[in-house]
Structure 1
Amino acid sequence: MDLTVAVPVRNEEKNLPMCLQAIGVDFAQSIFVIDSGSTDATAEVARSHGAQLIDFEWDGYFPKKRNWFLRYHTPRTKWVLFLDADEILSPAVKKEIAAALSDTRHQGFLLSYSNYFLGRRLRGGYPLRKMALFRVGEIEYERIDEDRWSQCDMEVHEHPILNGSVGLIRSRIDHRDLRGIDSYMRKHNEYAAWEANRMHVARSSSSSLSNHPWSQKQRFKYSLLSSKFGGFIYFLGSYFLMGGWRDGSVGFAFAMLKAGYFTQIACRLKELETNRLR
């Protein structure tokens, strides 16, 4: 296909082999691994699977990793697919993507994912979808001028900005992190700090959050974060409304940790606002 696959990484020697093996050698014209100075065997894994390795060092400002790749290593293909190292393409997903890209009017596609937690595929909880497949040269991830208040060198919850239509790939990519619960907790601590700072900057720069060009999903999320009960509301929706109870104790633990994540963001946000007023 007229497609480039880009995999941004940092210390992903455990997850990357399955990700690259699942992509295969005949799915895309090019496979790039964009590495942020890994200290493990990530680079060797990428080379051994035939991927092209690109080194990235973030200076704390725009652009981050994905936008940097799009700007300074612009793929020569018509389409680009961004995968995280813990995301595994199934044959069904690859087949559906191939069919979709063969004749489409869309600028981008939402991809669907299956979450794994504690080694188990979750049946319940909120559905995970994100836009990670789009036309080269027409779309970038939203710009957030962080001015060094973040340690996240890759666009995490920034969304691609596009004006055209969006399609949907219904077959699910497996989102399966093999690095364990410690990695999960560290990652979400980092994400929580980023989310709180972003919300703090947005509140400081505007009297109304409705002035920000956020997607409907983002507006819902940030309105939830504005409430001290956001974590509890998330838990009720994920575990009861969206069927997290079907996954038993694992589903309960997953919903509780995610609820704690939302609560942590709210607490961090409150702390930032309190410090600003002192």
Structure 2
Amino acid sequence: MKLPLPITIAIPIKNEALLLQGCLDAIGKDFVEKIVIIDSGSTDDSLEIAQRNDVEVLDFKWNGQFPKKRNWFLQNHTPTTRWVLFLDADEYLTEGFKNEIRKAIVDENKVGFWLTYSRYFLGKKMKGGYPLRKLALFRVGAGEYERIEENNWSKLDMEIHEHPILKGNVGTVKSEIDHLDFRGISHYVIKHNEYASWEAERIMKMGANLEIKKQWTWKQKIKYKLMLTPFIGPVFFFGSYFLLGGFRDGSRGLAFSILKASYFTQVYCKIKEQKLSKK
């Protein structure tokens, strides 16, 4: 019998009843030492689902400033396990991933791991396009999510594109977590409109902060530089659809690449709009 891994899985939610049970089922019983849900005032059946599964729920109320949900959890409810894994409700652990992290976390030279996620669009798994990776598994105490000061300039109470700043070597887990979102295109468009507003505001406020820029990865530096130009959308589309094989997904790949390219173009337009309004 395999012992539970010394990991706390933290699942930030708000009205995730459609996805939460599947997420918990994919984790399974006795895979990790602890599962905790960080809730932002859900009004659907999310809390009932947590209760039926004997999962601890923490109530998070955001005051519009730092810290947001993940850092608040790390600072105020520090896990007693050695590792913490942040998992969204639409992210489902696979058996391949579980087997790989059993071996990965025994590496004493690593304090965290970049995780790889499958992407589903219009009901099917994507074959091509930019890979989805997040630094979501790390040792407790090795660091926190990037600190970005806010003063009620967004409505997003959870870290979106902030990434953990860790002290030590970081590895990669190649086995995928399935990223399954059943909420449809309307939800996707609304969500990414909110993300675009946050991204534009962040670039305007943080772009001149040298300390924050030092913490950016080389990919972030390229992305944020391109976001100041109208070329960000076409560059993303070309890379996703042609260089990284988005064309392998046929019409779905074309539609997905266009949607993502329009998102980045939207960020550029919002930055431009802010600059014009200040003039």
TM range (shorter): over 0.9
Tell me the equivalent position of 1:242. 244
2:57 is matched with 53
Report the secondary structure of 1:161's partner residue.
strand
Equivalent residues of 1:112, 1:128 under 8 A apart: yes
Alpha-carbon distance in structure 1 between the residues aligned to 2:212 and 2:21: 43
The equivalent residue for 2:268 is: 266
> Where do residues 134-149 of structure 1 align in structure 2 (5 Å cutoff)?
134-149=138-153
Could you tell me which runs of 5 or more consecutive residues in structure 2 were left unpaired when the two chains were aligned. none
Give the structure 1 partner of residue 177 of structure 2.
173
User: Contact conserved, 2:165 with 2:215, CA < 8 A, in 1?
Assistant: no
> Aligned partners of 1:23 and 1:178: how far apart in 2?
18
CA shift, 1:158, in A, is 0.2
Distance 1:113 1:3 in 2: 19
How far apart, in 2, do the equivalents of 1:209 and 1:217 lie? 17
Kept in 2, the 8 Å contact 1:124–1:242? The answer is: yes
Report whether the alignment pairs 1:217 with 2:212: no
Separation (CA, whole Å) in 2 of partners of 1:86 and 1:250: 20
Q: Does 1:196 align with 2:197?
A: no
Closer, same or farther in 2 for the Cα pair 1:68/1:209, shift >3 Å?
Answer: closer
Report the Cα offset of residue 25 of structure 1: 1.2
CA RMSD, Structure 1 to Structure 2 (Å): 1.4
Are the equivalent residues in 2 in contact too, given 1:8–1:65 (CA < 8 A)? yes
Q: State percent identity of aligned pairs.
A: 54
Q: Check conservation: 1:5, 1:30, Cα contact below 8 A.
A: yes
Q: Distance in 2 between matches of 1:248 and 1:48?
A: 41
Match of 1:252 in 2: 254
Identify which range, 261-270 or 182-191, moves more after superposition: 182-191
TM-score normalised per structure 2: 0.95
1:104 is displaced (CA, Å) by 3.1
Q: Is the 8 A contact 2:85 2:138 kept in 1?
A: yes
Give distance in 1, aligned partners of 2:47 and 2:184. Answer: 21
**Deviation per CA, 1:35-77, whole angstroms, max 9, x where unpaired?**
1001111111122222111110100000000000001011000
Residues of 1 paired with 2:9 and 2:216: CA distance? Answer: 27
- Could you tell me which of 5, 19, 29 is aligned with 2:9? 5
| 8 Å contact from structure 2 (residues 142, 168) kept in 1 | no
In the alignment, is residue 91 of structure 1 matched against residue 95 of structure 2? yes
Residue matched to 1:157: 161
Distance (whole Å) between structure 1 residues aligned to residue 71 and residue 211 of structure 2: 25
Distance in 2 between residues matched to 1:23 and 1:211, nearest whole Å: 36
Please, what TM-score do these two structures have when normalized by structure 1? 0.96
Aligned to 2:134: 130
> Shift in Å at residue 210 of structure 1?
9.2
The answer on 1:63 being equivalent to 2:67 is: yes
Deviation at 1:212, TM superposition (A): 4.4
* Alpha-carbon contact 1:16-1:42 (below 8 Å) kept: yes
User: Structure 1 counterpart of 2:116, which letter?
Assistant: S
**In the aligned structure 1, how far is the partner of 2:124 from the partner of 2:144?**
34
